[in-house]
Chain A
């Protein structure tokens, strides 16, 4: 098994695919974390909302492409409502109260999802790229390659936006030192809101993209939340590169851990987090130097 090139290719692709989903989720969370110092435990619930809304959109329109477009928009609207009602008011409340409020939101959002979509798993059939291709004698589903492409595409877009647009400069300034940025005439509050909404939209996109590969159910957000938080802390708060590096590291740990040490895959991930927190608490690629 170990000397078989195909085996390694498949496991590496599996890691990449999981990494890209984690990246789509953690990039929103890490920037909210780094820019606003806000811990949003309900971010996973937005991912679940994206998948479930994507399911309904696919059922109405008959095409998953509409889901990719509309689910992020709908989740962004949901995020806006949460921001106005809860999150904006909890900005200065300290990590403990933020954890508690967003913990409460997890339950609220999960039951709303159960009320609308029921408790069963739902899935879609007519996804694009539903075929398989052969890589070194191994059959691999094309859709997973599509997920990898989406993740890399989003990373490239965000990287360019962060480095070369005015908003990107404002975000970097805000992460570095929000007070000074504000004194220099940057509308930090507006930047916060835009970044938060983009993060919500990406969580929704992650849900919609995950839908054809895995099925969707209310509560799926809780399971993905913890790896996402681990990625954010390991990568470094507020850092785009950190989110990508953290996603790759955690996804590789989980995937290969599952293959070689099925008993300890989860433990490995947490051990990694503990080591990072003790040795390098600012994360691998901290946004603030």
Chain B
């Protein structure tokens, strides 16, 4: 795995460096885009943890993201708690919700898993849509950002805010990489490849799936508290299933089952959306077409195409070391089949 893993690390490093370089050149609008990319990169990585590694494709992920944002707003604005405490409380509370939901939804599989996560997510959407205390369908404004002036960071300037979020995204990327390399990560890989065999090996499959779901939901909720501070306004749209779909698109676009993929995918999708929406009001058409072609292309998103191109480059044999080649291909085909 070393050759491929190194390539992906380099790919992620290149993406983060590119974001950093863009940050030095960007103006107000650019910094806003960067903050959005960082939030969605975190969200997409958390979805990839269950969809790509554990094989649990959720269409309700945005609901956990939105619940994090709403609980954060509730704690910090309605109850008047300090911002930092509200972030921790909202993330932890949503994590508990995700644990309960995970214990329920992992009882069903395949397309039914997609449907049940969609249904539970939409229940959350309905709840905040109808909840007048938190603004209902009008949304909820007046959210404040974390005060970090005591270490010299004024988060109310877009440049500082976006750089902080990029650093947070990088930290989460590194932490998740450690997790994937751990025995827990190995179990997730195993669940993705062959659940039956893992069960035969005596693993408490559902307990692991539930833990992965809970962890993923916790990270999503944390991303929610960040997006609430970024836009300082939240609406039930944050919980809608179409947003879950978009995040899934980011994961697929970048490369499923790789942590670098979601980061690349989030950057590409947010950029594309802003660029295309400047050029044409029908950007959804191009985005949808792009998605259809990427999925039908059969390779594992941008990372998959980059790895393919790297191997095809002339000069020297860049095929993966022995023992990995055909197996790796098979793995990719299996990924595509899911």
Contacts and interface: CB of A to CB of B under 8 A. Distances in A.
B119 A274 contact: yes
Interface stretch (B70-78, B102-110, B176-184, B199-207): B102-110
Given A107-B284, A226-B241, A267 B123 contact: yes
A100 interface: yes
B114 A95 contact: yes
Contacts of B116: 273-274, 277-278
Contact of B123 (A89, A271, A278): A271
Interface string A221-262: 010001001100100000000000000000000000000001
B126 A267 contact: yes
Contacts of A86: 292, 296
Contacts of A89: 296
A266 B122 CA distance: 8
A266 B126 contact: yes
A1 interface: no
B30 interface: no
Interface stretch (A69-77, A109-117, A171-179, A191-199): A109-117
Contacts of B110: 95
B112 to A, nearest CB: 6
Contacts of A233: 112, 115
Interface stretch (B11-19, B80-88, B244-252, B313-321): B244-252
The winner among A86, A104, A281 for most chain B CB atoms within 10 A is A104
B338 interface: yes
Majority SS at the chain B contact face: helix
B120 interface: yes
A104 B288 contact: yes
Given A105-B288, A111-B282, A271-B123, A97 B338 contact: yes
A270 interface: yes
B291 A99 contact: no
Nearest to A41: B245
A280 B291 CA distance: 34
B111 A104 contact: no
A267 to B, nearest CB: 5
Nearest to A42: B288
A278 B284 contact: no
Contacts of A230: 119
A214 interface: no
Contacts of B288: 103-108, 111
Interface in B225-257: 241-242, 245, 248-249, 252
Given A97-B338, A99-B114, A270-B120, A107 B285 contact: yes
A281 B290 CA distance: 34
Contacts of B283: 111
Contacts of A12: none
B22 interface: no
Contacts of A93: 295, 336-337
B59 interface: yes
B291 to A, nearest CB: 4
Contacts of B111: 39, 95
Contacts of A222: 242
Contacts of A226: 118, 122, 241
A264 B51 CA distance: 30
B112 A281 contact: yes
A19 B184 CA distance: 47
Nearest to B122: A270
B127 interface: yes
Interface in A110-138: 110-112, 114-115
A277 B115 contact: yes
Given A99-B59, A226-B122, A230-B119, A104 B295 contact: yes
Given A93-B336, A95-B114, A267-B126, 7 more contacts: A39-B114, A95-B111, A104-B288, A266-B123, A266-B126, A270-B120, A274-B104
Interface of B: 51, 57, 59, 104, 107-108, 110-112, 114-116, 118-120, 122-123, 126-127, 129-130, 241-242, 245, 248-249, 252, 282-285, 287-292, 295-296, 336-338
22 contacts: A90-B296, A92-B337, A96-B114, A99-B59, A99-B245, A100-B295, A104-B249, A107-B285, A107-B288, A108-B284, A108-B289, A111-B284, A222-B242, A226-B118, A229-B118, A266-B122, A266-B126, A267-B127, A271-B123, A274-B104, A274-B116, A281-B108
Q: Across chains A and B, which 8 residue pairs bring their CB atoms closest together, nearest first?
A: A107-B288, A104-B291, A111-B285, A108-B288, A266-B126, A107-B284, A104-B292, A104-B288
